[in-house]
Structure 1
Amino acid sequence: MKKLSVIGFIMGMVYFTMEGFWRGWTNISMLFVGGLCGALIGLLDEFPKRYNLKVWQQCILGTLIIISIEFISGVILNLWLKLNIWDYSKRWGNFKGQICLTYSFLWFLLTPLAIWFDDWLRWKFYGEEKPYDIKRIYRELVTFK
């Protein structure tokens, strides 16, 4: 659990920073939302049943994880607490302004990077298996291997 918490915190910091650069600002809650997404996505290749998943399958699961957490946290933070951290209501394919198809596609493309980064952190900090080359992972994604 400690390992997962450390990895989740680092992943959250990375997401928090990326969102700050992307949007020009962020909210501290994104540290936790991003960390939870990153930690859960990192688990996609940690269990034997998941080892046989193709990269595109992991991307679909990762995207579903992200949009589920994004929707739930959006309902709580934006709709109930009125923090107005994000609003996708003007984007095509949005649902209640909390998730949208545009960002879902972006999450699909970023999921391999999150999986690789989780594996890299586990390798560097905990001596686990060295991760595959990130180029190989994206090559497998576009060739459906």
Structure 2
Amino acid sequence: MSRSTMRALAAKYTYLAWFGGSCYVTFEVFWRGRSHWTMFVLAAILFVLIGLLNEIWTSWRLFPQAVAGALIATAAELVTGCIVNIWLGWRVWDYSDMPGNLLGQICPQFALLWVALSALAIVLDDVIRWKFFHEERPHYTL
């Protein structure tokens, strides 16, 4: 792979990560009135990872990709929560009052919300790739 190709790839994924992190922090500020820099980092990583589902899952079936994205996001939220909330004690979020929570870091209600957010992330990632990076036009089935 040439240096210019590597730079273009790095620029694309940097932009996608920035976009995903920025959108999530904006949603979170509207949802709960605040956010934390760790949420930007986590969302940036998740946006890229969830967006890559179309690169490996070539059927363009949105619902299974959204469920897979939700599983990825929930697992990442658990790991991140254990680090930033339990180990470091930063108290970025606490789901202890939610039914079915695990260590106060994840709960079924927000895992379901991740399905919708993952579907949105998949579509936004694909539209950005199509419009700005001249990749394949999205064509989903459920």
Q: TM-score range by the shorter chain?
A: 0.7 to 0.9
Equivalent position of 1:65 in the other structure: 72
Matches within 5 A, 1:8-27: 8-27=17-36
Distance 1:65 1:38 in 2: 11
Distance 2:22 2:60 in 1: 27
Q: Alignment RMSD, CA only?
A: 1.4
**Residues 1:36 and 2:45 are matched in the alignment:** yes
Q: What amino acid does structure 2 have at the position aligned with 1:77?
A: V
Q: What amino acid does structure 1 have at the position aligned with 2:73?
A: I
Q: Which SS does the other structure have where 2:105 is aligned?
A: coil
Q: 1:116 to 1:127 in 2, by over 3 A?
A: same
Equivalent position of 1:54 in the other structure: 61
Equivalent position of 1:126 in the other structure: 133
What TM-score do you get using the length of structure 2 for normalisation? 0.87
Q: Does the 8 Å contact 2:66/2:122 carry over to 1?
A: no
Distance 2:26 2:131 in 1: 21
Deviation string for 1:82-120 (max 9, x for gaps)?
A: 110000011011100000000011111222111000011
**Residues 1:111 and 2:118 are matched in the alignment:** yes
What TM-score do you get using the length of structure 1 for normalisation? 0.85
Distance 1:60 1:53 in 2: 13
Query: How many positions carry a matched residue from both structures?
Result: 133
Distance 1:54 1:11 in 2: 21
Unaligned runs of 5+ in 1: none
Q: What amino acid does structure 2 have at the position aligned with 1:10?
A: F
Q: What amino acid does structure 1 have at the position aligned with 2:34?
A: W
Q: Which SS does the other structure have where 1:69 is aligned?
A: helix
